[in-house]
Amino acid sequence: MMITADKRLIVALDVNSLDKMKQLVNDLGASVNFYKVGMELFYSAGEQTVEFLRSADKEVFLDLKLHDIPNTVACSVAALTRLGASIISLHAAGGRSMLAAAARAAAEAATVNGVPRPKLVAITALTSLDEAEWQEIGGQLPISEQVVKLACLAQSAGIDGVVASPQEAPLIRKMCGSEFLVVTPGIRPQASATNDQKRIATPADAIQAGASQLVVGRPITAAASPVQAVEEIVKEIRGES
């Protein structure tokens, strides 16, 4: 799957108001084409976040991590599809029936609303978890094995890809092939603070490991020069640094 370097970078809009989001997007300007709208922003400002980004000709990863019974998730995916997001996330742990219902709902809603079908990506194991915390919540397999198991399940249910750490990306790529999306958070350029992320990698290492797209938040949004931070990360993605 050919994805240009500028669209491999997804900047996380981890703010809590429409005004803060607009300021950040305006500051970054043409340097960023793809943004993640997560729970904090969507719950604070709602649909207008996606509407603003689409009106600015930006692509949107709507990261709401849907997880409920199949009918509820399917109806939610249908409602969100009309907004025009390029990617929507849901939890792989919801199971085959939920995942398959979501995939059908996305296709049907896209046709009804006359919009491109969004890609659906399944959350595997949060990058804030390490092995100790994973076992604490009942993980019986090592994280890497469980992530690959969930990736294979999601693919077989009609889901387009997964959200997983860079550490699991090579295994997912091996099992699920070149067309399967692997969206990786936990990206930290050299000398960046890890914050609350534990299974991390640099942009270059993540791409080399098989990631399709990288989600980066604080290393850009909290940088002294966000535009310069974006430029450095895109250079790493292109293998220029």
Give the catalytic positions in this structure: 65
Residue 11 to residue 24: CA distance in whole angstroms: 10
Q: Please name the amino acid found at residue 88.
A: I
* Among 183, 188, 186, CA closest to 198: 186
H or E stretch at 61: strand 59-66
Place of tokens 């509820």: 72
66 DSSP β-pair partners: 90
Q: Which backbone phi and psi does 75 adopt, to 5 degrees?
A: -65, -35
Residue 116 to residue 134: CA distance in whole angstroms: 36
Q: Please name the amino acid found at residue 236.
A: E
By CB atoms closer than 10 A (0-12, 13-18, 19+), residue 68 is: middle
9 DSSP β-pair partners: 214
